[in-house]
């Protein structure tokens, strides 16, 4: 997570103001975008894991960033915390099939879209 920003109700997020905060909230910005392989088609559908909980992506996917609505339920999150796009965080998990469904594609296409600059952690098991 590269930034946290407090937004008042009605404040738009990202290009084209396609999402506005339905209430006062905190939005996290993650340093991953379509240049890393996150399809623009996941806008308004995808989630990530932060602090062991599912959090919705909001606004448009940009070249280098996505925004996440924390809905003021994550007071312990800090800049630098790890967000999980694919995989497990505590009891929650986002599977490749689930992400592919949000993107309207198949799991193999999601994997082949991942660019070399996307961090990968391989876990045996």
pLDDT at 123: 73
Q: pLDDT digit string (tens) for 17-30?
A: 999 999 999 999 99
pLDDT at 72: 75
pLDDT at 76: 85
Q: pLDDT digit string (tens) for 43-76?
A: 999 999 999 999 999 999 999 999 999 987 777 8
pLDDT at 25: 95
CA distance linking residue 30 with residue 4, whole number of Å: 9
* Contact partners, residue 94, CB within 8 Å, separation at least 6: 47, 48, 49, 54, 84, 85, 86, 87
pLDDT at 122: 75
What is the arithmetic mean of pLDDT over 6-19? 94
CA distance linking residue 41 with residue 55, whole number of Å: 17
CA distance linking residue 76 with residue 46, whole number of Å: 22
Label residue 125 by pLDDT band (50, 70, 90).
low
Q: What percent of the chain is predicted at pLDDT more than 90?
A: 85
What is the arithmetic mean of pLDDT over 106-123? 86
Residue 37 pLDDT exceeds 70: yes
Looking at the whole model, is its pTM more than 0.85? yes
CA distance linking residue 54 with residue 59, whole number of Å: 16
HSE-CB of 58 using CA atoms within 13 angstroms: 21
């Amino acid at each position: 997570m590269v930034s946290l920003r407090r937004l008042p109700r009605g404040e738009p997020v990202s290009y084209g103001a396609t999402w506005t905060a339905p209430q006062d909230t905190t939005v996290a910005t993650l340093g991953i975008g379509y240049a890393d392989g996150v399809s623009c088609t996941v806008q308004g559908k995808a989630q990530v894991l932060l602090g062991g909980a599912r959090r919705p992506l909001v606004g448009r996917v940009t070249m280098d960033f996505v925004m996440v609505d924390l809905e003021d339920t994550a007071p312990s999150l800090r800049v630098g915390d790890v967000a999980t796009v694919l995989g497990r965080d505590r009891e929650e998990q986002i599977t490749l099939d689930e992400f592919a469904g949000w993107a309207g594609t198949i799991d193999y296409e999601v994997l082949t879209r991942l660019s070399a600059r996307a961090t990968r952690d391989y876990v045996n098991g």
